[in-house]
Amino acid sequence: MRFSRRFMSDVSGNFGILTALSLVPLVGAAGMAIDYGRALNMRHELMGAADAAALGAIGEGSDGFKAFQQMQKDGTVTIAQDEGRKLFLGQRSVTQADVLANMPIEVSVDVERKEGSMSSNVSFTAHMPTTFMSMFGHEKISISGSARATSGSFGKTYTDFYMLLDNSPSMGIAATSSEIKRMKQLTGANGGRSCAFACHVGRWDSNGEFNDSNDRTYVIARDPKNNVKLRIDVVTQAAKALIDKIKSLASTNEQYRVASYSFGKYALQNGYRIEKIASLSLDMNTVGNATEDVTLMTTNHDWYNHNALTSFDTSLKLIGREITGNGGSGSSAADPEKIVYFVTDGVANHKPDDKICDGSWEGDSGRCLEPIDTSYCTALKERNIKIAILYTTYVPLDGDGTWDGKIRYVFADKIASKLEECASEELFFEVKPDDNMEAAMVKLFIQATGGSTGLRLTH
């Protein structure tokens, strides 16, 4: 009895026992934290692989995207699904490669075309072996996640799109800084007048054939051995590329209709006009091909109509007559938004009907050089017609008398600001000579139609 009482009352060594017993949950908790930390890192690695697979499966240039462009109706894009799975497995982190290689991973990739857009869904489930938690009967931790990406047009606005291309003589300037320099060298050779403009001078015959005046700068620019790229070339090529791209941007087959106009194939002695290049149509191929054929306006001779060949007043007034009714809500094909997409260098050179000039008179013929008259823009906007303007910077040319005497110190600082005032809110873009005009056209189009486009993750 005395022994048992002593044993029960002896507390020496209890601390060590209690410490040993308490270490079990502490070590277990630390082990769980380590295993869960590894699992979180692993999930981060796998989510990166899923993001890359979702984007890569439908990225522009991928086999999946090419298949999508050829599809005539909605459905599964099988080749993109196979591509996405390969990308997921190939994107596994180098630092985790050994672990991932031995880890069971279930991957599902679904890619479909729906209402003109392309979407990819990548989901995964993996089972990571545990280290410390296995001592407590937990042999693995399940990890899962998903990524979704979309490509195409996001927005259901139905839009009638009237493209108005300024092809007046000033668009005959060489397209870039380097081309301007080269054009001057070419035209100044052999004692000629150094000029950056390609002036398209000649006469149309009864058969509809144009006969160039052989001593003109346009002939030099178009000579195959010179092949100078002009501003009008960049405009029409970019417009064609945009119209082609609209097919892939549309959410439905009836979302966008496009028409195309220029300032006229040739200059008129009296009065101005716009020329319909392609009627409002869903057929982007026809409209695009016709637009690509727009050429620089021709004149019969230098100082034809006193070189007053660019009337924005007439162009905006007549494009308004081409548009039936007011702009709609864009909620359906029967009630489309209506947008004038105007590409110009912003300097009017005409004989105004009201005899008022907000710039400079030149000569005694009533020729006026001025920025755009925004009252004609207001008339369109009052009909709920949007105006999107792509301003191709009016390039000053050293030694040009008209620029120095009539524009630079009179209204040069108003050219861009007046165009911006003419445009609907946030629908004015400026493209300098060395900028990417095609990219700017697409950006402005997307802005004008109230949508967004491209490739993006949406998870």
pLDDT on residue 275: 97
Q: Region 419-445: what's the mean pLDDT?
A: 91
Is the pLDDT assigned to residue 167 strictly greater than 90? yes
Distances in Å between the alpha carbon of 268 and those of 156, 282, 307, 344, 456?
42, 32, 10, 19, 49
pLDDT on residue 452: 54
Is the pLDDT assigned to residue 453 strictly greater than 50? yes
pLDDT by residue (tens digit) across 131-164?
Answer: 767 666 677 888 899 999 887 655 567 899 999 9
Highest mean pLDDT among 80-84, 247-251, 396-400, 414-418: 414-418
pLDDT by residue (tens digit) across 114-128?
Answer: 766 788 999 999 888
Q: Region 173-185: what's the mean pLDDT?
A: 91
Q: The tokens 């039936």 sit on which residue?
A: 324
Q: Region 269-276: what's the mean pLDDT?
A: 92
pLDDT on residue 397: 75
With bands split at pLDDT 50, 70 and 90, how would you rate the model's confidence at 406?
A: very high
Whole-model pTM over 0.75: no
Is the pLDDT assigned to residue 208 strictly greater than 70? yes
CA gap 277, 184 in Å, rounded: 32
- Do 451 and 159 contact (CB within 8 A), yes or no? no
With bands split at pLDDT 50, 70 and 90, how would you rate the model's confidence at 314?
A: very high
pLDDT on residue 386: 96
Overall size of the chain counted in residues: 459
With bands split at pLDDT 50, 70 and 90, how would you rate the model's confidence at 411?
A: very high
pLDDT on residue 128: 84
pLDDT by residue (tens digit) across 325-336?
Answer: 999 998 889 999
With bands split at pLDDT 50, 70 and 90, how would you rate the model's confidence at 70?
A: confident
The CATH fold of domain 159-451: Rossmann fold (3.40.50)
Lowest mean pLDDT among 56-60, 259-263, 387-391: 56-60
Lowest mean pLDDT among 145-154, 162-171, 390-399: 145-154
Of all residues in the chain, the percent with pLDDT exceeding 70 is 85
Q: Region 169-187: what's the mean pLDDT?
A: 91
Of all residues in the chain, the percent with pLDDT exceeding 90 is 44
Could you tell me which of 350, 354, 348, 353 has the C-alpha nearest to residue 363? 350
pLDDT on residue 203: 86
pLDDT on residue 360: 96
pLDDT on residue 94: 46
Tokens of 261: 């106009």
Q: Please give the mean pLDDT across all residues of the chain.
A: 85
Residues 6+ positions from 196 with CB-CB distance below 8 Å: 173, 174, 180, 183, 184, 187, 395, 397
Residues 6+ positions from 150 with CB-CB distance below 8 Å: 58, 117, 118, 119, 120, 455, 456, 458
With bands split at pLDDT 50, 70 and 90, how would you rate the model's confidence at 95?
A: very low
Distances in Å between the alpha carbon of 111 and those of 48, 123, 351, 431?
18, 12, 58, 37
With bands split at pLDDT 50, 70 and 90, how would you rate the model's confidence at 7?
A: very low
CA gap 153, 22 in Å, rounded: 61
Looking at this protein, which amino acid is placed at residue 57? A
pLDDT on residue 93: 52
CA gap 211, 204 in Å, rounded: 6
pLDDT on residue 13: 52
Q: Region 105-118: what's the mean pLDDT?
A: 83
